Amino acid sequence: MKLLKRENQLNAPVKVLQFGEGNFLRAFIDWMIQQMNNKCDFNGAVQLVQPIEKGMADMINDQDGLYTLILRGVENGKVISEKQIIECVKGCLNPASEWQKVTEAFCGDDLRFIFSNTTEAGIEYKAEVYTPGVMQTTFPAKVTALFYERFKAGKKGLLVIPCELIDKNGATLKKYILQYAEDWKLGDDFKKYIENENTFFNTLVDRIVAGYPRNEAAQLCEEFGYQDNLIDCGEVFHLFVIEGPKTILNELPFDKAGLNVIVTDNQKPYRERKVRFLNGAHTGSVLGAYLGGCKTVDQMVEHPVYGKFVEKLLFDEIFKTVQLPDDEKKAFASSILERFKNPFANHLLLSISLNSISKFKVRNLPSLLDYYKLEGKLPQGLVFSLAALITFYTTDGDYTLNDDANYIAFMKALPACPVEKAKAVLANTAFWGEDLSKIDGFVDLLAADLKNIAEKGIEQATKDVL
């Protein structure tokens, strides 16, 4: 079967440089760019850059940037299924071997927008030496070096729109760029350029993306009439909240393309609701369910034990920590369950497990700590979810390789004693930014859960917290 390839060259100017070539951005940002091209004559191409050395660049370039996006779900009882070939992606660069090409793309005359999704672990600051012409290590350091080249070339500033799921993602990225500029002594004029000529937006993204449909890919390609190794699948629902000046819509006409995009001066209420309920329920439940034999999110929520555990997290614990009217919270939490049950998503639990430690810190720890402050006791479900995380990371299997190597090494070296294991994890400030072992009763409760999982198995241990 013929591989999906372009019949005609992509002639649109590269207006977007995107750090991240994974399933989410291709089903979210690139889909949005395609909608604006189709409906608003945006006429923009996207140049992808894979954030790390090993990625999907070769596969993407083999298909000339083309891929099929399938959006499926149930809305108001009606099944919706949409298929579209995304044509706006020019290709993908590997910065480890093509740093000069990445630099040239970043200095392009037509470039106006920077998008990124390097996971919660991507926007970080680690001191490193600046080496001109050589790829830096962290994502913010890479971007700093690239901005410096753009500055020296006398090119205008950019709109920077990160999609990583951390609080104040745009402001944090900007802060780290300025820190590297200070470390590397790049000069006051460059810092003024970053401050005054570039705009960094805080954002919130929301769409469940399952990615490549392994179980049905062969059948779908038969229906398409072409081979596509990059099929991407997601739900129909989408929401993009951007904190910043509404003038961004003059350049990115999301509204005219009919997209569910909100530009606001305060995205905090939207972020807290989404991150704590949707992402928190994901990260808090999938590792235990995976250890219990479930493979996908819909299997998990339909399971008699793990499905009840998801409900416990949503309605008994996270619910109490979100400062919104009860009716609004109940409606949103209920909608999360409906989205999780989407039979078309085929959202693999293992794909959600990527960088689970940093995800727990961002998505679940704030709810756990707020619950403790509000109720005067630790939330049993959220503590148990941390025990499941530890068990997942200390169980033999290659699936724990998709995290920071230092984190994995730490988890693999933990002592066997549940109390010592719990104390070591909670006291690791590199994980949590604080010593959680000082919270009264936390070590004992976590150790009891670890012991229960080891002795009774994950399913019975989960039942015991319901």
Domain chopping of the chain, boundaries: 14-264, 268-465
CA separation for the pair 297, 290 (Å, rounded): 9
- Where does 268-465 sit in CATH, by number? 1.10.1040.10
Q: Is 39 helix (H, G, I), strand (E, B) or coil?
A: helix
* Residue 304, Ramachandran bin (φ over 0: left; ψ between -120 and 50: alpha; else beta): alpha
Element (H, E) at 134: none
Question: What's the fold here for domain 14-264?
Answer: Rossmann fold (3.40.50)
Show pLDDT as tens, one digit a residue, over the chain (466 residues): 999 999 999 999 999 999 999 999 999 999 999 999 999 989 999 999 998 888 899 999 999 999 999 999 877 667 889 999 999 999 999 999 999 999 999 999 999 999 999 976 789 999 999 999 999 999 999 999 999 999 999 999 999 999 998 989 999 999 999 999 999 999 999 999 999 999 999 999 999 898 999 989 999 999 999 999 999 999 999 999 999 999 999 999 999 999 999 999 999 888 899 999 999 999 999 999 999 999 999 999 999 999 999 999 999 999 999 988 899 899 999 989 988 988 787 788 988 888 899 999 999 999 999 999 999 999 999 999 999 999 999 987 655 556 888 899 999 999 999 999 999 999 999 999 999 999 999 999 999 999 999 999 999 999 999 9
| Other Cβ atoms closer than 10 A to 59 | 13
Contacts of 293 (CB under 8 A, 6+ apart): none
Q: Length of the chain, please?
A: 466
